[in-house]
Chains A and B, each alone.
Chain A
Amino acid sequence: MSSVLRRPEIFMFIAGVVMGLTLFGYFFNVPQVIDLVTWFQTFATHVSFFAVWLGFLTAARIHIYNIQRRTPGVWYFSIVMFLSCLIPFLAALPEIAKPSIETPIYTWPFNWVYTPLGAALYATTGFYIFSAAYRAFRARSLEATILLVAGCLVMLGNAPIGEVIWNQIPTINDWLQMTGQTPGMRALNITAALGIVYFGLRVAIGAEKRVTTFGAGGG
């Protein structure tokens, strides 16, 4: 029985039916189909709730394995990772009955460890971008020069100091962002959307082997 359920055809059939009905329900107002699609969506949403749990358990399993095996260069980080998962989880257990976003034992590591680290990480990228811009933004060709000039104008337009330097900078910046880049971005969005539809169709007809073999447990 399990070998039958692991066959790619089963996966293709389920994916194809769900995908076809979902697309149909999006474009056509047929109440029965819409109800069925709503049920699919509810099902998928509930599965994703469990996926959060699954993510926690999978991460815990990987790090317990690393700690048990003393994986070189990794196991001590795994201890930190595992405890970072476990301690907030245990601390929050008594709060499950009455959740609160102001429980000190739960929020302390977030407020005083996670938040400063997150802010520092984001701020640090500014330094890397500055260094990278210095080394990479060179007018080596006509295309690179156009990119460089447009980039500088947008940067100046985004900062009020640009208006102080020249009062036409905001006008140029607005044109670049509202008109100049829009055709390219539209083309990108539309082709990406068509690409997603194409990918979906390939999955539905079983042409996307990576997905179908994964569905069959092939990895």
Chain B
Amino acid sequence: MGEGQTIWEKMGAIDRRILYWALFISLALPYIKPLGLPVSIAETSYALYNYINTLGPNDVVVMSIEFGVSAWSECLPGFVAVSKHLVQRGVKIIYWCVGYTDCDLTMEAVMARIPQLKGPGQPAGPGDYKYGVDWVYFGYIAGGETTVAQLADNIRNVLRTDKYGTPIDEIPLMKNVNSARDIKLVVDSTTGDYGDYYVRQWRMRYGTAVAEIGIAMNYSTFIPYYQAGLAVGALKGIRGAAEYEKLIGEFGEATISLDALNISHLLVIIAIIFANISYFMTRRKGGVR
């Protein structure tokens, strides 16, 4: 910073390292003293919750993993919360991924957070989800929207075995599941536009219900589908996940992360206010524009 600068000019040209440290320290504060602020429930979260409440043990839901490990912080808690709700309702679950090759890691993380999901060969007790009977995992399927369309038409044209090499016809859950007509709901968790693929290829052609658990940024792009009746619900990033945890009564990672969301959002707004005070004061004195 040059000499002779006013306090407003200095404020406007503040070193970015100071901003980084301010954010870093602020984010650390909730770990010392959690805020634990109450969360209200958005309409779209309620809608998804209510829709899943209409499903039962004879229904099959596809959970589409369309986010990589880098987006776990925002997408995984919501994905886990919805999976837990499906387990509570006894709904059969198919997991697959058409967008990210690292989805095996996400599946591992989901299994670690939902102990009822028993892997192949693991003994399943009462209340557990037996692999192949109550849930199945197909891993990564290449091909983008073409594959999504093809899965809607005929799952067996694309998939011959599950992730573990078991032929699809030997999986009890898949016995009567062959196309989008046999699926009640697709929940797509995405950092991109995979939700659009399912709306176009599953909802429009077969009437399958679609919902999205996206990063917060995706929420705005998905809302037109919800308002047009093409989607049954949506969760808005980590906030939506926290709302869903509250709805199913199982508080988890999203609720814990909300403190960081509170602090970071408030800090950004305070910073913007200070930046604009600096801007107007500098402009009034005929400084930089």
Interface residue A28 (Cβ < 8 Å from any Cβ of B): no
B147 at the interface (CB under 8 A from A): yes
Name the contact of A155 in the complex, choosing from B73, B105, B268 (C-beta under 8 A): B268
- Quick check: B147 and A185 within 8 Å, CB to CB? no
> Given A130-B267, A138-B275, A177-B220, are A118 and B227 neighbors across the interface (CB < 8 Å)?
no
Chain B residues within 8 Å of A98, by CB: 164-165
A42 engages B157 (CB within 8 Å): yes
- Measured between beta carbons, the chain A residues less than 8 angstroms from B261 are 158-160
Chain B residue nearest to A173 in the complex (CB): B42
Closest Cβ–Cβ distance, residue B29 to chain A (whole Å): 13
The answer to the question of B272 belonging to the interface, with a C-beta cut-off of 8 Å to chain A, is: yes
A45 to B241 Cα, complex, angstroms: 33
Band of interface residues on A: 35 or more
Residues of A within 8 A of B223 (CB): 177-178, 181-182, 185
Contacts of A140 in B (CB 8 A): 279, 289
Sample of 19 further A-B pairs with CB below 8 A, known A38-B154, A118-B102, A127-B23:
A41-B149, A41-B157, A45-B141, A45-B142, A100-B164, A101-B163, A115-B69, A118-B70, A126-B264, A127-B20, A127-B24, A134-B19, A158-B265, A161-B262, A163-B37, A170-B40, A174-B43, A177-B220, A178-B43
One of A2-10, A106-114, A209-217 contacting the partner: A106-114
Chain A neighbourhood of B272, CB < 8 A = 133-134, 137, 148, 152
A159 to B238, CA, bound (A): 10
Residues of chain B within 8 A (CB-CB) of A41 are 146, 149-150, 153, 157
Q: What is the total number of residues of chain B having a CB less than 8 Å from a CB of chain A?
A: 73
CA of A155 to CA of B19, assembled, Å: 18
The answer to whether the Cβ of A52 comes within 8 Å of any Cβ in the partner chain is yes
Interface presence of A102 (CB below 8 A): yes
Residues of B within 8 A of A130 (CB): 19-20, 23, 264, 267-268, 271
In the complex, chain B residues whose CB is within 8 Å of the CB of A152: 269, 272
Contact B107–A181 (Cβ < 8 Å): no
Q: Which residues of A are found within 8 Å of B158, using beta-carbon distances?
A: 42, 45
Measured between beta carbons, the chain A residues less than 8 angstroms from B258 are: 159-160
A-B contact pairs, 26 of them (CB 8 A): A41-B153, A42-B158, A44-B143, A44-B150, A45-B146, A97-B165, A98-B165, A99-B164, A99-B165, A102-B119, A114-B102, A118-B70, A122-B73, A127-B19, A130-B20, A130-B271, A133-B272, A134-B19, A134-B275, A152-B272, A158-B261, A160-B40, A161-B265, A163-B38, A178-B43, A189-B224
Task: Provide the bound-state CA to CA distance between A164 and B40, in Å.
Answer: 11
- A123–B20 CB distance below 8 A: no
Q: Contacts A42-B157, A134-B19, A152-B269; is A119 near B150 (CB within 8 Å)?
A: no
Residues of B contacting A185 in the complex (Cβ-Cβ under 8 angstroms): 220-221, 223-224
> Contact between A134 and B265 (Cβ–Cβ < 8 Å)?
no
Chain B nearest CB, measured from A209 CB (Å):
24
